[in-house]
């Protein structure tokens, strides 16, 4: 199998070089998986547009989705990156482990979110009716459900890209469950 390389700034298009420069300013480095997108002239910019799109979801809710989807899809890269982001959003190590298992005891609304996200992801877009009812009973709306599907799609993209490329993880490794 051909090794998928992590391109350097000098190896990507001028448009991707500008994105690399912005990532360096915002994150302090260009994450390897983002760099992998830059093999395509347009994919990195398109992906970042999707990832940074407006949503009805709070940052903590997005991290719950990111962690649950990445756990279901067994993506160590995304689990590691989003463990770091979850900590920046105020989750503790134990809470992050609960989120990844979709067994949240510390917040009933986030529990309903994690359960429906896990069901959607495991069932390829179909959710167990019980989890959908629990989701709506927790106060979420149909608009929130649409936004959740967008975040799931975002995360599936990176999970799949990592699965195909096995790009080295450049975040502190997420602990195994």
The string of pLDDT tens digits covering residues 36-93 is 999 999 999 999 999 999 999 999 999 999 999 999 999 999 999 999 999 999 999 9
The DSSP 8-state label assigned to residue 69 in this structure reads H
Residue 174 in any domain: the answer is no
In this structure, the answer to whether residues 111 and 88 fall within a common structural domain is yes
**What token pair was written down for 119?**
């069901």
In this structure, the answer to whether residues 107 and 27 fall within a common structural domain is no
Please determine, for residue 155, whether its predicted confidence score (pLDDT) is greater than 80: yes
- Which pLDDT belongs to residue 3? 80
In this structure, the answer to whether residues 28 and 113 fall within a common structural domain is no
Cβ contacts of 10 within 8 Å, gap of 6 or more: none
CB-CB neighbours of 46 under 10 Å: 12
Phi, psi values for residue 166, rounded to 5°: 55, 40
Residue 177 in any domain: the answer is no
- Please give the model's pTM, rounded to 2 decimal places: 0.96
């Amino acid at each position: 199998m051909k090794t998928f390389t992590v391109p350097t700034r000098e190896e990507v298009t001028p448009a991707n070089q500008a994105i690399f420069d912005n990532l360096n300013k915002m994150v302090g480095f260009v994450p390897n998986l983002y760099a992998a997108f830059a093999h395509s002239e347009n994919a990195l910019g398109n992906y970042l547009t999707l990832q940074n799109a407006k949503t009805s979801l709070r940052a903590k809710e997005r991290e719950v989705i990111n962690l649950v989807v990445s756990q279901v899809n067994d993506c160590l890269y995304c689990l590691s990156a989003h463990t770091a982001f979850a900590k920046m959003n105020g989750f503790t190590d134990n809470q992050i482990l609960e989120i990844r298992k979709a067994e949240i005891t510390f917040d009933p609304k986030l529990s309903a979110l994690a359960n429906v996200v896990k069901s959607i992801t495991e069932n390829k877009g179909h959710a167990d009716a019980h989890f959908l009812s629990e989701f709506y009973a927790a106060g979420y709306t149909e608009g929130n459900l649409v936004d959740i599907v967008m975040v799931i799609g975002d995360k599936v993209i990176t999970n799949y890209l990592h699965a195909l490329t096995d790009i080295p993880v450049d975040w502190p490794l997420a602990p195994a469950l």
